[in-house]
Amino acid sequence: MDKSVIDWLSISAKEKADAIAVGDPDKEYTYKELFNNSKKVALSILPYVEPCHAVAFYMEKSADGLCGMLGTAMVRGFYSFIDVRAPQSRIEKVLEILEPDVIVTDKNFKDKAAMYAEKFKVVTIEDLIDGADIEYSINYDCKDIKDLGDLRLKLKQRQLEALDTDPLYVNFTSGSTGVPKGVMVNHRSVMDFIDCFTEIFGINDEDIMGNQAPFDFDVSVKDIYSCLKVGARLQIIPRSYFSAPTTLMDYLVENKVTVLVWAVSAMCFVSIMNGLGYKVPESVRMIMFSGEVMPAKHLRVWQKYLPDAKYVNLYGPTEITCNCTYYELSKGETLNDTETLPAGKAFPNEKVFLLDEDNTLVDTKSIGVEGEICVGGTCVAVGYYKNPERTSESFVQNPLNNDYPERIYRTGDIGKYDENGNIIYVSRKDFQIKHLGQRIELGEIENAATSIDGVTRACCLYDHKKKKLILCVTGSLNGKEITSALRDIVPQFMVPNKVNVLEEMPLNKNGKIDRTALNAKFIAL
């Protein structure tokens, strides 16, 4: 039985040794090279990384970065990619939570990463792959390791001790308290999901998957591990290409990409910028999308230019290992602007159900009755790293089961069933929203705003129709000053589209900010 994603890498390296495993605009590696480079990384970091400890990556996604991730898994560590575009304060919070044994960067970000060298060991991926750090490890740092032979024996021992419940990665999402939440996922959850994912959608060793998502976003998990599982090719698309439509389309065509697993926002970028009008990647046979509700008018653009492709809507938060439901459009199926694409039905070995406000099961025959989407099964994440309080709030005992422990994840999403038994996503239960493909806690924006000198109170709203963040504040600063200050505190996708400065904040009878009054005033505009 495979117990680690490294088992998949080993098998593909034997069976597809000379096939291209991963490529980016600068380089490409065969499966044999990917395995060997990952092992070099593993041998280099082994003396510093304890089992089930973190390795942070301060770099953009790349073929070398994949070697680093897999090398981390080889030594039983877990990886966590840092968004290099995030404000320094947020990066510092993430590192404070992770306490990584090693920070891996590359030549492009080496100087920036140097600021963290006082607290953490910082190394470059180039040195790790070249093996330069192995000599340093043997000669200077590790008294119990005398030569490369000792390193290899220790690595083999680590792999023998590996468990399928070992953590594989931690992806950070927005936290309502202002502290990012690190979602920890283990090997077994990923392998169980990818086994189903590749089988259902027929992903095979002839596919070339065009990776859109950053490696700190769980959409990339489907790209990376589907390829490892079946021996397909991972073609990494740089983030910058998603602001240059002609470059993006040229890249897809030149690399003969066959499968796209993209965020909805990325697909909308292409349709808005008329990328398909410039050039059509006719090799694409399947397009899957997730992250937020796909606007019908943008989907129709893709269907117009790629009418023979298979289109699949995927749903699920990071906490349940990528996705828990899917809906495959039938041949020729289109939606008008008033229709909502179903989130679909559960993946195999995943239990997806709705609970009403009384924790009573919403029956699939109760068409249109709303309830919170809950998920159980192997897919459920380990929890939030070093955050037991938030973990216990969302990862709970199934209230329908009083007989034995059954852990489920309450998504906070509201859904309902259609006449075919498909789940339809309705909205968020609380103030956590999806914006530009990112999951955001409005409370984090509020906390960031109130941390600014000159701001006394803050309340963030979301206009779901116009897809805009609206911040209401009281204080002495104007909107432009607040927006400018926020850019130094939160990621760009969390900067409000509009800031309203109020003389006073409306309060409800409990003395809390009256969100209903603010929504009525500003969302109605």
Six-digit token string for 102: 């090693």
| Degrees, nearest 5: CA angle 468-473-476 | 135
Cβ-Cβ contacts under 8 Å for 58 (sequence gap 6 or more): 82, 84, 91, 103, 104, 105, 109, 112, 113, 116, 122
Each residue of 412-440: pLDDT tens digit? 998 999 999 999 998 777 777 888 888 78
Six-digit token string for 152: 């290899």
Task: State residue 175's pLDDT score.
Answer: 63
Q: Is 473 helix (H, G, I), strand (E, B) or coil?
A: strand
Q: What are phi and psi of 121, to 5 degrees?
A: -75, 125
Q: Is 410 helix (H, G, I), strand (E, B) or coil?
A: strand
Q: What is the DSSP string of 200-248?
A: HTT--TT-EEEE-S-TTSTHHHHHHHHHHHHT-EEEEPPGGGGG-HHHH
d(CA 260, CA 294): 15
442-523: CATH homologous superfamily? ANL, C-terminal domain (3.30.300.30)
Each residue of 485-503: pLDDT tens digit? 999 999 999 999 999 999 8
Band (pLDDT 50/70/90 cuts) for residue 444 is confident
Please count the other Cβ atoms lying within 10 Å of the Cβ belonging to residue 473: 25
Q: What average pLDDT is seen over the chain? A: 92
Q: What is the DSSP string of 70-139?
A: HHHHHTT-EEEE--TTS-HHHHHHHHHHH--SEEEE-TTTHHHHGGGTTTSEEEEHHHHHHTHHHHHIII
In the predicted structure, residue 268 carries a pLDDT above the cut 90: no
Q: Tell me which residue has tokens 């240059």.
A: 244
Cβ–Cβ under 8 Å, residues 255 and 249: no
Q: Where are the alpha helices (DSSP H) in 283-412?
A: 296-305, 388-394
* Lowest-pLDDT range of 241-255, 333-347, 358-372, 504-518: 504-518
Give the burial string for 502-513 (b: 16+ CB within 10 Å, else e). Answer: eeebeeeeeeeb
H-helix or E-strand containing 438?
Answer: strand 438-441
Task: State residue 193's pLDDT score.
Answer: 98
d(CA 215, CA 219): 8
Each residue of 65-115: pLDDT tens digit? 999 999 999 999 999 999 998 889 999 999 999 999 999 999 999 999 999
List the one residue out of 41, 3, 90 whose CA is nearest residue 441: 90
Q: Tell me which residue has tokens 């504040």.
A: 473
In the predicted structure, residue 142 carries a pLDDT above the cut 60: no
Task: State residue 176's pLDDT score.
Answer: 58
Cβ–Cβ under 8 Å, residues 256 and 207: no
Task: State residue 510's pLDDT score.
Answer: 44
Task: State residue 511's pLDDT score.
Answer: 47
**In angstroms, what CA-CA distances link 404 with 297, 356, 401?**
47, 22, 7
In the predicted structure, residue 134 carries a pLDDT above the cut 50: yes
Average pLDDT over residues 304-325: 97
- Give the CA radius of gyration of the chain: 23
Which CATH fold topology does 5-18+26-184 show?
Rossmann fold (3.40.50)
Each residue of 162-180: pLDDT tens digit? 999 999 999 998 765 667 8
Band (pLDDT 50/70/90 cuts) for residue 509 is very low
Average pLDDT over residues 352-365: 96
Cβ–Cβ under 8 Å, residues 33 and 80: no
Q: Is 358 buried (19+), middle (13-18) or exposed (0-12) by CB count in 10 A?
A: exposed
Task: State residue 292's pLDDT score.
Answer: 79
pTM given for the model? 0.84
Task: State residue 140's pLDDT score.
Answer: 43
Task: State residue 190's pLDDT score.
Answer: 98
β-pairing verdict for 102-105 and 78-81: unpaired
Q: Where are the alpha helices (DSSP H) in 347-402?
A: 388-394
Q: Where are the alpha helices (DSSP H) in 341-463?
A: 388-394, 442-450
d(CA 444, CA 176): 5
Q: Where are the domains of the chain?
A: 5-18+26-184, 442-523
Band (pLDDT 50/70/90 cuts) for residue 265 is confident
